[in-house]
Chains A and B, each alone.
Chain A
Amino acid sequence: MKIGTYIQSALVVTAAALLLSGAAGAQEPGLSKDSIKIGLFGPMSGKALAYGEDPLNAAKMWYDRINKQGGIWGRKIELVQEDDRCAANDVVAAVKKLVEQDKVFMLNGGSCSTATVAAQEYVLRNKVPFVMLNASGDSALYPPTDYIFGAISISQRAVGGTMIDFATRSLKVKKLGYLNHDDAYGAWNLEAAQFMAKEQGATLIVESVNPDITDITAPILKLKASGAEALLVTAYARPATLAIKKAHELGWKTPIVIAVNGIANLVQMVENVGTKEAFKNLYIQELLADVPGGPKLQWVYDMYKTAYPELAKTPDHPSPYMPYGLASAMVVTHALNLAGPQPTREGVAWVLRNLKFESGVMAGPIEFGDNDRAGQESAIFLKFEGEKGVLQPGVYSNKWKYKG
């Protein structure tokens, strides 16, 4: 989308939001003359800490930056932070505390989809605008609601859709082996993958496995025997690693494409597979505007080093998910900016429903719409031979749309 189109849509959104703001006279929760309270939550402890620690850090550094620049319409952002431990009960408890006790204006949080969507009913009942942090949260996005916005990193549907777009357009293959989970996650990405395969005239051969599978021989051998020209894997790191290993053991030399779900720690993945030979023809999905740490994203990583100098020196920091938190916080500040000097929850929710902007962080634009609450639906792909990712030309998009 061209810059002019963005400016045009931003003006329309601002004008409408100002109208909505004017209509609402009463004082909104969390809003004072000098500050606006935002409830930020994610896993700050527990086994899922790695999913949320750095996205939360990134969101905080963005809000700090906005505050240093004078805030939004003269108001400083006041963060109230809660730990949700990536557990459904804790998410609901955190959200209730933030809304009822801390009286935040809006919510920004959630790193684990299954846990985050547990807040759906409460958020909708209380009509609080809620922008997810780095959870995709497909089940809270489809069917769309008025107050919940997510998939700032990517939706599971878009994971599947973009994988097919890449395989058919870049690898130029039409018979695709597809390994996904046999759970809701797998069903979501498969739904868009099947749509895209039909669109691109490709054949999809699907094997769905339990995420805890111990012996992956059967599905990989079946896909190999089917004559699939590429293996697309949308499973988590563990089954994805087992799939790479097994394909290598079976002497299957077809291109393998691993979705973002499975690449949390590439160094560890290579160690776990045990040989770089298995990575000779492997591609990974990435959701950022550039290779992590690449020139387009250098400012993000520099900002992190400045904000967290000690943490940045520790292993595994920043995590690959770090920039997603930044993009999520950008959604919040963009919406607040466009909502005008007297924002209301209704006004901000309306702005969010019509928001479109280029974050400069993610692969594609962040764009919601009348029937769409998933922010980001594009991906880039890197060829990864076991050491460094080499960016492949093009940005790949999901064309599946909710039709409910």
Chain B
Amino acid sequence: MTWELFLLFFQQSLMSGLVTGSIYALLALAMVMIFNTTDVPNFGQGEIFMVASYIALVLLVFASVPYLVMIPLTLAAVFFGGAIFQRLVLKRVALARGASVNLVIATLGLSYFLKGVMRQTGIAEVPRSFPALFPTDSVSIGMATATVQDFAILGLALAAMAAFFLFFHFTRTGRAMRAVGMNPRAAILVGVDIERMRWLVWGLSSAIAALAGILISPKLLMTADMGIVVILGFAAAIVGGFTSLPGAVVGGFVIGIVENMVGLFVSSKAIVVAPFLAIMLVLLLRPQGLLGGKATAKKV
């Protein structure tokens, strides 16, 4: 490999990795939010992302709703969908005082339900996409190439992450959510309505997944199986530290860049295994994740 080719591959890995990584980061953020407040990994996150993308498609392409109306409508629909699932299903499962694995099974059930419904509609029979809000003209930075749309994806994803950071640190509701994640009993004692926080977290987490879907769908193609990308979100969350929101963001970018570097410097066949290698390395060298803090035994 020549030096010039090395530089090209390296710069392109960073550029493409940051763009796709921003989507993985959003998905990881959504998962970590739910895990922090309920101790349940949401295996339905990918399908929420998928359904949100199709809602956006239907509104934009079939109902000819303008982009700026479609975005809040989709986010709102998915927010309420997530919140309703928490109130109707998860709350009841939790009240049944079963093992917490029942909650995990409930999220798996959500995943299968959403995928099945989408297949029944027939809309997912062929891969689809919808027009991008931003131009798809190519722009070169150094030796790397990206589109205006790529920069918009990265910029909007970063803006959303910053907004959530501010929300969690500087608003009463955001702080209450963090309190529920840190110590639910203490949160109840200081007057936090824990049930309200839980459905709010589910709603917000679903809205974040919806945002990821809206941003990436014009770039990728929609199918009923597109939720599989959530595995990369899980990988990002594990690499970043499953309890850390900033860690989820860092993990997303790491996975995006590692995927591209492995594809360019090792082999295209190895792209799919790259995130799992990253997980193994992190678990071996820093089991709590990059920003997960020290691993501690949970008090009961």
Measured in the bound complex, the distance between the Cα atoms of B124 and A280 in whole Å is 28
Q: Given the known A-B contacts A241-B221, A265-B126, A274-B218, are A221 and B12 also in contact in the complex, defined by CB atoms under 8 Å?
A: yes
Q: Does A225 contact B (CB under 8 A)?
A: yes
**Smallest CB–CB gap between B287 and chain A, Å?**
27
**Smallest CB–CB gap between B298 and chain A, Å?**
34
Q: Which one of B37-45, B165-173, B262-270 is at the A interface?
A: B262-270
List residues 228-264 of chain A with CB under 8 A from any CB of chain B: 237-238, 241-242, 249-251, 264
List residues 150-202 of chain B with CB under 8 A from any CB of chain A: none
Are A207 and B127 closer than 8 Å at their CB atoms? no
Q: Does A182 contact B (CB under 8 A)?
A: yes
Q: Does A268 contact B (CB under 8 A)?
A: yes
Which residues does chain B contribute within 8 Å of A221, judged by CB atoms?
8-9, 12, 264
Which residues does chain A contribute within 8 Å of B228, judged by CB atoms?
212
Which residues does chain B contribute within 8 Å of A213, judged by CB atoms?
271-272
Q: Given the known A-B contacts A47-B119, A274-B129, are A242 and B221 also in contact in the complex, defined by CB atoms under 8 Å?
A: yes
**Smallest CB–CB gap between B235 and chain A, Å?**
12
**Smallest CB–CB gap between A55 and chain B, Å?**
16
Are A238 and B127 closer than 8 Å at their CB atoms? yes
Q: Does B100 contact A (CB under 8 A)?
A: no
Are B224 and A47 closer than 8 Å at their CB atoms? yes
**Smallest CB–CB gap between B103 and chain A, Å?**
28
Are A274 and B5 closer than 8 Å at their CB atoms? no
Q: Does A199 contact B (CB under 8 A)?
A: no
Which residues does chain A contribute within 8 Å of B220, judged by CB atoms?
214, 242
Chain A: interface residue count, which band?
Answer: 20 to 34
Q: Does B229 contact A (CB under 8 A)?
A: yes
Which residues does chain B contribute within 8 Å of A44, judged by CB atoms?
none
**Smallest CB–CB gap between A239 and chain B, Å?**
9
Are B125 and A272 closer than 8 Å at their CB atoms? no
**Smallest CB–CB gap between B267 and chain A, Å?**
8
Q: Which one of B71-79, B84-92, B130-138 is at the A interface?
A: B130-138
Which residues does chain B contribute within 8 Å of A182, judged by CB atoms?
268-269
Are A47 and B229 closer than 8 Å at their CB atoms? no
Q: Given the known A-B contacts A212-B225, A222-B268, A225-B8, are A217 and B16 also in contact in the complex, defined by CB atoms under 8 Å?
A: yes
Are B269 and A208 closer than 8 Å at their CB atoms? yes
Measured in the bound complex, the distance between the Cα atoms of B268 and A209 in whole Å is 6
CB nearest to A252 among chain B residues: B145
List residues 51-95 of chain B with CB under 8 A from any CB of chain A: none
Are B126 and A218 closer than 8 Å at their CB atoms? no
Chain B: interface residue count, which band?
Answer: 35 or more
**Smallest CB–CB gap between B264 and chain A, Å?**
5
Measured in the bound complex, the distance between the Cα atoms of B266 and A207 in whole Å is 11
Q: Does A210 contact B (CB under 8 A)?
A: yes
Q: Does A121 contact B (CB under 8 A)?
A: no
Please pick, from A207, A214, A222, A249, the residue contacting B138 in the complex, using a CB distance under 8 A. A249
Are A274 and B131 closer than 8 Å at their CB atoms? yes
Please pick, from B127, B129, B221, B271, the residue contacting A210 in the complex, using a CB distance under 8 A. B271
Please pick, from B124, B125, B223, B259, the residue contacting A215 in the complex, using a CB distance under 8 A. B259
Which residues does chain B contribute within 8 Å of A264, judged by CB atoms?
126
CB nearest to A215 among chain B residues: B20
Are B129 and A218 closer than 8 Å at their CB atoms? no
Q: Given the known A-B contacts A221-B9, A250-B145, A251-B145, are A274 and B126 also in contact in the complex, defined by CB atoms under 8 Å?
A: no
Measured in the bound complex, the distance between the Cα atoms of B150 and A249 in whole Å is 11
**Smallest CB–CB gap between A217 and chain B, Å?**
4
CB nearest to A273 among chain B residues: B129
Which residues does chain B contribute within 8 Å of A265, judged by CB atoms?
126
Are B12 and A271 closer than 8 Å at their CB atoms? no
**Smallest CB–CB gap between B182 and chain A, Å?**
34
CB nearest to B220 among chain A residues: A214
CB nearest to B2 among chain A residues: A225
Chain B 5-21 interface mask (CB, 8 Å, partner A; 1/0): 10011001100100010
Looking at B8, B132, B146, B269, the one whose CB has the most chain A CB atoms below 10 A away is B269
Measured in the bound complex, the distance between the Cα atoms of B136 and A238 in whole Å is 19
CB nearest to B5 among chain A residues: A225
Which residues does chain B contribute within 8 Å of A47, judged by CB atoms?
119, 124-125, 224
Q: Given the known A-B contacts A209-B271, A249-B138, are A214 and B232 also in contact in the complex, defined by CB atoms under 8 Å?
A: yes
**Smallest CB–CB gap between B170 and chain A, Å?**
34
A sample of 21 inter-chain contacts (CB < 8 A) reads: A47-B224, A209-B269, A213-B271, A214-B20, A214-B229, A218-B13, A218-B264, A218-B268, A221-B9, A221-B264, A222-B264, A225-B5, A225-B8, A238-B221, A238-B223, A250-B145, A264-B126, A265-B126, A268-B128, A272-B129, A275-B136
The 10 closest A-B pairs by CB, nearest first: A218-B263, A219-B268, A272-B129, A217-B16, A238-B127, A210-B272, A218-B264, A207-B268, A215-B20, A265-B126
- Give me 7 other A-B pairs in contact (C-beta within 8 A), A209-B268, A215-B259, A249-B146 excluded: A49-B125, A215-B256, A218-B13, A225-B5, A268-B128, A274-B132, A274-B218
